[in-house]
Amino acid sequence: MVEHLVLFKLKEETTEEEKLHIVETLKQLSGMDGIAAFSAGLNHSQEGKSQGFEVGMRIGFHTREALDAYLPHPMHTSTVDKIRRHFADVIVLDYTW
């Protein structure tokens, strides 16, 4: 299993409605080939350690090849293009277990 973790820090002017739209837009990726598990949502941690990152997404891929095919896939790139204007910063971490 390959885990693809993405954290999004949004621009300060991003509204609550836009934040919900971002999460719903990301969820459109869940049906892509090679995905074993998917989740996306808004941070609600009370620990105060998010460093301003408000949206998280986790995709579990069956194989590393599936992750490699996902990255340049038109559905992935067009989804990111729809919401990119709201990003102040993004963290991506991939690991195999």
**pLDDT for 64-96, tens place per residue?**
999 999 999 999 999 999 999 999 999 999 999
What pLDDT was estimated at residue 28? 96
pLDDT of residue 70: 98
What is the residue range of 27's domain?
A: 2-89
96 within domain boundaries: no
For residue 83, the domain's CATH number is 3.30.70.100
- 3-state secondary structure string, 17-86? HHHHHHHHHHHHHHHCCCEEEEEEEECCCCCCCCCCEEEEEEEEECCHHHHHHHCCCHHHHHHHHHHHHH
The whole-number pLDDT of residue 66 equals 97
Residue 95 located in a structural domain: no
Q: For the chain, what is the domain count?
A: 1
CA neighbor of 24 nearest in space, from 40, 38, 9 = 40
Q: Is residue 16 within a helix (H) or strand (E), and if so which, with residue range?
A: helix 16-27
The pLDDT-based confidence of 3 (bands split at 50, 70, 90) is very high
Minimal CA–CA distance to 89: which of 39, 14, 4?
Answer: 14
For the chain, report the end-to-end CA distance as a whole number of angstroms: 6
97 is a domain residue: no
Q: Is residue 67 part of a domain?
A: yes
pLDDT single digits (tens) 7-53? 999 999 999 999 999 999 999 999 999 999 999 999 999 999 999 99
Q: Residue 76: its pLDDT value, please?
A: 97
Strand partners, 94: 4
Q: Is residue 94 part of a domain?
A: no
DSSP state of 4: E
Q: Is residue 65 part of a domain?
A: yes
Q: What pLDDT is stored for residue 49 in this prediction?
A: 97
Stated pTM of the model: 0.94
Is 85 part of a structural domain of the chain?
Answer: yes
12 domain residue, yes or no:
yes
